[in-house]
Amino acid sequence: MSFWQFLFVRSSLFYLLYTALTGSAFYLWPALVGYLKTTHVHAGLVGFFLSMVMGVAYWMMPRPGQIRQEGLEGLTYVLLNAGLLLRLVLEPLMLYTGNAELRPALAASGLLQAGAVAVFAYAMSRRVFTKERLFQMAEERKRRQQASS
């Protein structure tokens, strides 16, 4: 497991804890629901679920030809978490203060997360092949090894 894959999985557990704590806080302080409900859901779906899926996919999906994509993994991680953390801080602040000037920063948080999804989709498209193509690539690799020895 690479450093970035490790961070994806560990961060997803942080977001799971955040989701559980905010969900519990809603029963203790019902007034928080209006400020934190959407970030609570976003932390659960994007923070926990999507981070876990991305981390495990980067770790477990086949890497034909030993493709290493640590740069793409890192870029995905940074974009996703920068956007998510920005949202988790700014959205409740905007709802609490009514400061509409925070909307452009919230839009930027969404664009950062969308960028992460685009990078992830590109990286996965470079890793996912049919069974037949994997066998063909293995044969080509074997032929190259035999020719070089």
Contact 63, 85 (CB under 8 A): no
- State yes or no: pLDDT of 105 exceeds 90: yes
CA separation for the pair 90, 106 (Å, rounded): 7
Place of tokens 């190259």: 144
pLDDT at 117 over 70: yes
Q: Where are the domains of the chain?
A: 3-148
pLDDT tens across 72-102, in order?
999 999 999 999 999 999 999 999 999 999 9
